[in-house]
Amino acid sequence: MRIRIDVSLDPTLGCGQAHRWKKIGDEWTGVLGGKVVRMTQCQGYIDVQGCGSESSILSYLRADDDLDEIIDYIASKDRYVADLSEHCPGLRILRQPKWECLATYLLATNANVKRIGAMVESVCRTFGKEIESERYAFPEPRDILDNAERIAECRLGFRASRFIELAENVESGKIDIEAISEMDYRDTVKALQEIKGVGPKVADCVALFAFDHLEAFPVDTRIAQVMEKIFGITGSYRTVSEYGMNLFGRYAGYAQEYLYHSGFIE
């Protein structure tokens, strides 16, 4: 299936927003909506195999985001970000499934990208449905709870009990993901931080990558270093994050992605 969209797959799928995409040769392979999906960058379009719905791909890649408007907006706020955007056209923020994104980023606490990916795959192998040889769907909360005694096989460490508790609370409705999706940014991150294991950074990542809050500005060690080096900003998480949000406004999340990958773009 050919889909015409202004996107560069390499920075979009390879930048650590989501953790189930792998590139072999020219082809990116991941799992989306319970299906193995393959995407290849072509001139003026992407070739997509394994997904029957063009609309689901367009939603996932946030085709409704006007990249020209977004880049013009954040570039007008800072020359450094303007330069980064010129050297990395087509970078898009993904719109990830809410439950999967929340559960994944709960596992991301005190872990690097490689470790996060390994944990996510172990969860999928242990609890998810096999949809292709050695490729598994991300499990629903009920799938996890039906086999909760196997959680040790996932090697999640201190995250294991939090992961089971999250599944229990989502399944019971104590955590209402759809209700959170109706909230504004401030209420969204407040609600997310009421979940055990979710701090400010995880809440901002989930708000940005799953709940459509493009104004979120997650801060990890790399962003903190860039913000100090480029803008001279240091201090608490909230100090640095609020600076980014105030500077880049409604599209702060896009600016954050460029800053996060500045070392690779430059």
* pLDDT tens-digit map of 161-203: 999 999 999 999 999 999 999 999 999 999 999 999 999 999 9
CA torsion through residues 224, 225, 229, 234, sign? positive
Q: Is the confidence at residue 264, as pLDDT, over 80?
A: no
Percent of the chain with pLDDT over 70: 99
CA distance 76 to 88: 16
In this prediction, residue 263 carries a pLDDT of: 77
- Whether residues 182 and 140 share a domain: the answer is yes
- Whether residues 147 and 200 share a domain: the answer is yes
Does a structural domain hold residue 44? yes
Containing structural domain, residue 253:
221-265
Give the model confidence (pLDDT) of 26-82 as tens digits. 999 999 989 999 999 999 999 999 986 899 999 999 999 999 999 999 999 999 999
- Whether residues 49 and 103 share a domain: the answer is no
| Pair of tokens at residue 22 | 């792998």
Higher pLDDT pick, 212 / 264: 212
Beta strands in 81-223 (DSSP E): 130-132, 135-136
CA distance 199 to 213: 17
- Whether residues 248 and 166 share a domain: the answer is no
- Whether residues 138 and 177 share a domain: the answer is yes
Burial class (CB in 10 A: 0-12, 13-18, 19+), 125: middle
Q: What is the CATH number of the domain that holds 51?
A: 3.30.310.40
- Whether residues 110 and 181 share a domain: the answer is yes
In this prediction, residue 185 carries a pLDDT of: 98
- Whether residues 198 and 226 share a domain: the answer is no
**Ramachandran class of 36: left when φ > 0, alpha when ψ lies in -120 to 50, beta otherwise:** beta
Does a structural domain hold residue 214? no
Give the count of beta carbons closer than 10 Å to the beta carbon of residue 162.
17
- Whether residues 238 and 199 share a domain: the answer is no
In this prediction, residue 84 carries a pLDDT of: 96
Does a structural domain hold residue 75? no
Does a structural domain hold residue 79? no
Give the model confidence (pLDDT) of 219-254 as tens digits. 999 999 999 999 999 999 999 999 999 999 999 999
Does a structural domain hold residue 163? yes
Q: Is the confidence at residue 266, as pLDDT, over 70?
A: no
What total number of domains does the chain contain?
3
131 phi and psi, to 5 degrees? Answer: -110, -15
Q: What integer best gives the mean pLDDT of the chain?
A: 95
What's this model's pTM, rounded to 2 decimal places?
A: 0.94
Does a structural domain hold residue 203? yes
Annotate 51-67 with DSSP letters as a single string.
Answer: -S-HHHHHHHTTTTS-H
Q: What is the CATH number of the domain that holds 109?
A: 1.10.340.30
- Whether residues 117 and 198 share a domain: the answer is yes
- Whether residues 143 and 111 share a domain: the answer is yes
Q: Are 61 and 92 in contact (CB under 8 A)?
A: yes
In this prediction, residue 12 carries a pLDDT of: 95
Give the model confidence (pLDDT) of 77-121 as tens digits. 999 999 999 999 999 999 999 999 999 999 988 888 889 999 999
